[in-house]
Amino acid sequence: MALSRRTFTAAAGAAALGLSLSASAGTGSGTPSGPGHSAPTGPPPPPPMADGRRHTVGFDRYSLLVDGRRLVLWSGEMHPFRLPSPSLWRDVLQKMRAHGYNAVSIYVAWNYHSPAPGQYDFTGVRDLDLFLRQAAETGLYVILRPGPYINAEVDAGGFPGWLTATKARARIFDPTYIAYADEWLTAVDAIVARHLYTRGDGTVLLYQIENEYYAYVTRPPGLDYMAHLYAKVRADGIDVPLFHNDQSRHGYWTPGSFDTGGERGRWLYGFDGYPAPDEVPPDWGHFGIGGQKGGATASPDTPGFVPEFGGGWFDPWGGVEFDGAGYAGSARTRGAAYERRFYLTNLANGITVHNVYMTFGGTSWGWLPAPQVYTSYDYGAAFDEGRRATPKVVPMHQIGQLVRCVPELAKLDPAGDAEYITAEGGTAGGVTGAAGRIKVYHLTNPDTHAHVYVLRNDSTRPVTSALPVAGASLPVTVPASDARLLAAGITLGRRKLAYSNAQPMLWLTAGHQDVAVLTGRAGEATVTALECASEPTVTVTAGDAESSYANGLVRVTARLGGLTRVLVEGGGVSAPLLLLLADDETSVRLWPRETPAGSMLVYGPALLRTAELRGDSLRLTGDTVEATELEVWAPDGVREVVWNEGELRMSVTGSGSLRAERPLAGVSGVALPSLRGWRRQVENPESEPGFDDSKWTVADRTSTFSTTPVPAGQPVLFADDYGFHYGDVWYRGSFTDATGLRSVSLGYSTGTQGLLMAWLDGAPLGTHRMPVPDKRTVRKGSWAAKATFDVPEKARTSGRHVLSVLVRRMQHDMDGRTQDTHKAARGLTSATFAGASPAVSWRLQGAAAGAADPVRGPLNTGGLYGERSGWHLPGYGDGGWPVVDLPRAERPRQGVTWYRTGFRLAVDPGVDASIGLVLADDPGRAYRVQIFLNGWNMGQYVNDVGPQHTFVLPNGVLRTRGANTLALAVLSDGTTVSGPGEVRLTLLGSAAGGVEVADVPSPGR
């Protein structure tokens, strides 16, 4: 395809910058795929850091190649914008790193950083540079995904609100849109270019352009668009491999499918997948159907790459997805067994670049969420919204350590077709998931000839069978709807594992001995065989285990429970091997870590954050919950161990470790105050006929770029056309002579769970609400309706009248189908009358982008009177408001009522307490609440819809040692008694340790 003029200009810019776009030059050039370019199996690259050195990043059909060394990328998704406390980014990153992840994937949301055209804010909670520095300091690679379109269940799929009111046709090669997108990418890339791993300035390893783009795949608007984005990013100095995330494995945007300016071998094909828990795990690679729709086989010369694989699922307003259980339902149905079944199947299928979406979901605070979702974006992820590790961390921890320590996994070929072994031990074909059968994927490494087996049980009951391995009949049990990985012929330090029916997790050399960890479910009987030229000395130092030696193998049989320790010495090997057999609960208390002086393994605490050697002193930081032992297998020469700045008395054990003579202390208690001293004030003076709206915006436009048609004879009333992009919007329509007026019909358009309230001359006409989504409409992003209200007889008079309308517009559609649906109208769309035809002049008011909070950003507030007047801010003078108690049973009233209180916390230093706010009431009461903590909009509660009742208050925004201001804006529709009902603080979890948290700026009045 010939270069378009714009693409050529960007490419020329790249050349002017001295950036080579060929595969054979440049610091980031990779190893081309194909015969003769395959790297051998060997140790992976060390954990990344901003080391100031040049690095190469390439790939072949097996895996990524970093400095020529194979890397299995085991990544988790988190979004900095869903955690508005930069100190806590480090907390989540350290937890991911400790639990086996070697990469973090992030979206960068255009709407979060751009309040207006030409304005880009990367300060405060939007400090991308800070996040990338923290990732490098933590030792994690970064997969960067800045769009321009991201989806991500955020407002407009990440497009800024102001883009909805432009002529730009989004997501195609439209000149206006391209100019705006270039402006955005220029701003992002100026930061990213300072953090590229290729240059040694950071750890950004891969970069995505666009997201799930399946429109115009074979036509110029799409081909030119993708070519332009590619050239633009390269022109901005981004030299790491680029990729796109194909939605649902269409085989779109594979290498060679669009113009990359002559550059070869620098584009990866990626695809996403979110299988339901009741599905049979799909084969999207080696064992799949092959071809364009076969997942990884659509691009046979690049590694299997899943930029998004389901780590949970989003929940819609009303909670229909999980039958009202909320994200607890997501975590339960997509739990640890789900992860083992699906993620190990991916690994068996050659997926070596694997990103779990989400690993930490966080909070869609303010007006950030897409219409389909409510405030919490917990997602049922491995780390919940309160930053706590869930049981789902167990397989992530085990697999993450495994892919780091077993280099054979980076280069595997199928040893044959997948087969089934039956409960009787034979092999048989049959239907996947048939009762009494285990599906077996058998793979081998072509360099080391090691064998890897993924065993999967798709039935609803456990299956025990026998697996033929290395001349032995290995007993195996796979629990119901679960899976496990077994290995044979892999190295465990200076010894070789012949076979085991326990899953390998890690090995390392600590001082003079090798240490290997294998895992399984508690109570399981295991057998592990090691190759030994002669009979070794085997000592069981802890646990239920026995050993025997025959035919060059030492066999260790054990029943898993806690940490079983078996020391193997001699047998023709100079160094001893400490074999640790751990059940699941114990495995996540084992923390490997690399230091310049060698590797180490820590056992005991709830989390190991950092490890640093200073001479003979090993300085550790981390978390405890309960009192726990601390044990360290350390490099030679360590004499002193310090835990969270406290020196420990250590003694040497028979396992070659140092053990603390006293347990580490658990976390102290956290006292939470009751919320009292509430003050109450009603608002919405905008509904009164005498309200001064002279400074409001006149609705005088006659045309729009919206995808919603303007009704004939009506002015444009759409809020976005007047610069009101987020939150509530008020309208006031003035007219004379209501003689004969029987009813008024108001057309309006909102996101999910929008509503409209109307008053005539200060008297309520009523409220209209969009329906709660059902399973058929959970993905619907725009809702339009017409609300018709009868006009009271006494209001049918001549003279001046004022029609006041409040629209809770919710958010913009995500435009997943590339139809500009993010431009669908929000707010009032029409007004028609029965019985009369008054000429109405309209004014409107919302939260204008130009007046956005410079610290909290434009997504924080909308157009309520209290928001415009600062009632949500700390320091507002509410001393004249009446004092009330909660819970309340407010008489039916249409409109807004505010409640404010203050509270103090005194959480002990060194305690990380995750605190939430609970709202609960009679579900028959029709009202909703916006929650403001220290001026930050931490979410929206809808009492009669749900399912969310607990709202996370992130430390930093929450002053855990100091004063806080809580404000609730209660919107009631006047049909029922309203609340608030119960409002209380709750402790979501706590740990001794944590990270140092800086207060997030919270300016007040």
Per the annotation, the verdict on 585 as an active-site residue is no
Q: Taking a C-beta distance cutoff of 8 angstroms, is the pair 375, 327 a contact?
A: no
Q: Of the listed 308, 339, 408, 631, which one is catalytic?
A: 308
Cis link prior to 887 (omega < 30° from 0)? yes
CA–centroid distance for 744 within its chain: 45
pLDDT of residue 851: 63
Residue ranges with strand state E in 199-322:
204-208, 242-246, 267-273, 304-310
- Please list the residues that pair with 428 across neighbouring strands: 420
SS3 125: helix
pLDDT of residue 283: 98
E strand or H helix at 394: helix 393-405
Q: How far apart, in whole angstroms, are the C-alpha atoms of residue 357 and residue 342?
A: 13
Maximal C-alpha separation, the chain: 108
Per the annotation, the verdict on 661 as an active-site residue is no
Q: How far apart, in whole angstroms, are the C-alpha atoms of residue 453 and residue 483?
A: 10
DSSP H helical ranges for 168-308: 175-192, 220-235
DSSP H helical ranges for 66-127: 86-98, 110-113
Q: Taking a C-beta distance cutoff of 8 angstroms, is the pair 781, 371 a contact?
A: yes
Q: What is the CA radius of gyration of the chain?
A: 30
Q: Taking a C-beta distance cutoff of 8 angstroms, is the pair 30, 23 a contact?
A: yes
Neighbours of 572 (CB within 10 A): 12
Q: How far apart, in whole angstroms, are the C-alpha atoms of residue 937 and residue 927?
A: 17
Q: How far apart, in whole angstroms, are the C-alpha atoms of residue 994 and residue 88?
A: 9
Please tell me what DSSP assigns to residue 1004: -
- Tokens (6 digits) for 64: 């990524």
Per DSSP, the chain holds a count of helices (H) and strands (E) of: 11, 56
Q: Taking a C-beta distance cutoff of 8 angstroms, is the pair 637, 870 a contact?
A: no
pLDDT of residue 34: 38
Three-state secondary structure of 415-472: CCCCEEEECCCCEECCCCCCCCEEEEEEEECCCCCCEEEEEEECCCCCEEEEEEECCE
Single out the residue of 956, 957, 925 nearest to residue 941, CA to CA.
925
Q: Taking a C-beta distance cutoff of 8 angstroms, is the pair 933, 898 a contact?
A: no
Positive or negative torsion for Cα 137, 139, 145, 151: negative
Please tell me what DSSP assigns to residue 6: H
Q: How far apart, in whole angstroms, are the C-alpha atoms of residue 833 and residue 850?
A: 35
Write out residues in the chain with pLDDT < 70, as ranges.
1-37, 424-435, 848-851
For 712, residues 6+ apart whose C-beta sits below 8 A from its C-beta are: none
Torsion of CA 477, 483, 488, 491, to 10 degrees: -120
CA–centroid distance for 94 within its chain: 15
pLDDT of residue 424: 62
Q: How far apart, in whole angstroms, are the C-alpha atoms of residue 65 and residue 47?
A: 14
Q: How far apart, in whole angstroms, are the C-alpha atoms of residue 241 and residue 144?
A: 11
pLDDT of residue 849: 57
Please tell me what DSSP assigns to residue 973: E
E strand or H helix at 896: strand 894-906
Q: Of the listed 153, 212, 531, 686, which one is catalytic?
A: 212
Q: How far apart, in whole angstroms, are the C-alpha atoms of residue 625 and residue 606?
A: 7
Torsion of CA 148, 126, 919, 998, to 10 degrees: 160
